[in-house]
Structure 1
Amino acid sequence: MVHPPPSPAHQWRVPPAVPAAKLAGAIGLAALGLLLADGDPVRLTLAVAAAVGLVGWAVRDLLAPVRLAVDAGGITVIRGYAGRRHLPWEAVEAVTVDRRTRFGLTGETLEIDAGETLHLFGRADLGASPTEVVELIRIARP
């Protein structure tokens, strides 16, 4: 008998406002392209291409909203467009938060170092502060 995997102790997902903003931006870009194209096919093509890119990005957020999950067995991260990869605790070398200041604004990125791979997550990926997430990961790690 196959048992379902245990539910994650913690999981972090993209906030619903993020894909909604991307879809609204795509609609705005397409409308702007139609208004400002002025018969120029290059302008219209660029606006539509940018809008299609935003829609693709938003669809990813809707197909795979959970970006990071932690349980007793390890960490599950998003892989590729909408796949998943489970990292057992033995494979996780470090979990840190990188803080950088640019133009007077400080940005935080959660970094999960799994040896040959590095997984990066921002606030928009997690729906929470990377500093809070790293603390919960440290608590969950056996």
Structure 2
Amino acid sequence: MQWRVRPVLPFAKLIVALTMPALALIFAEGEWSRWALALLAMAAIVVWAARDVLVPVRLAADPAGITVVTGFARRKQVPWSQIERVRVESTARRGLRSDFLEIDAGDALYLFTTNDLSADPESVASSLAGLRAVS
């Protein structure tokens, strides 16, 4: 089983990155520091989108354990024996509710949003629980 980033996210990030020069043109008023900041923000968003394209699968699970993406594009395999808890954490701020899948592996805590998984964290948690029980 595997869960990947929503396909629309990299494209949305690239659209935002492409609007940065237009915003700089409007707001920079000839100041090089504002242009530099806009170009830096554009580059950061392009790198963020590139990560979504290069490493779309954020979480994978099999009978041996799970594989998660850490850092920019590094994958780490975690056996089921090291996983202490899998749960869904919900937060509500300013009228918006966010659900996170939380995987506690002792010395590491992995958090995944709905956008990271392209699925409801509750359903992913129940799928992981079923796979873990089979293992």
TM-score interval (norm. to shorter): over 0.9
2:123 corresponds to = 132
1:61-114 Cα offsets, whole Å, 9 max, x none, are 111000000100001000110010000000110000100110111100111000
Q: Equivalent residue of 2:123, what SS? A: helix
TM-score scaled by structure 1?
A: 0.91
Relative to total residues, which structure has the larger helix share, 1 or 2? 2
Which residue number in structure 1 is paired with residue 108 of structure 2?
117
Q: Distance in 2 between matches of 1:85 and 1:55?
A: 24
User: Which residue number corresponds to residue 43 of structure 1?
Assistant: 34
For 2:63, the equivalent position in structure 1 comes to 72
Shift of residue 32 of structure 1? 1.2
Match of 1:84 in 2: 75
Is residue 24 of structure 2 the alignment partner of residue 33 of structure 1? yes
Q: Find runs of 4+ consecutive structure 1 residues off by over 2 angstroms.
A: none
TM superposition shift of 1:124: 1.1
Cα RMSD (Å) of the superposition?
0.8
Q: Deviations over 1:110-142 (max 9, x none)?
A: 110000000010011111111111011111112
How high is the TM-score relative to the length of structure 2?
Answer: 0.95
- Name stretches of at least 5 consecutive residues in structure 2 with no aligned partner: none
Q: Percent identity?
A: 46
Give the counterpart of 1:18 among 3, 6, 9.
Answer: 9
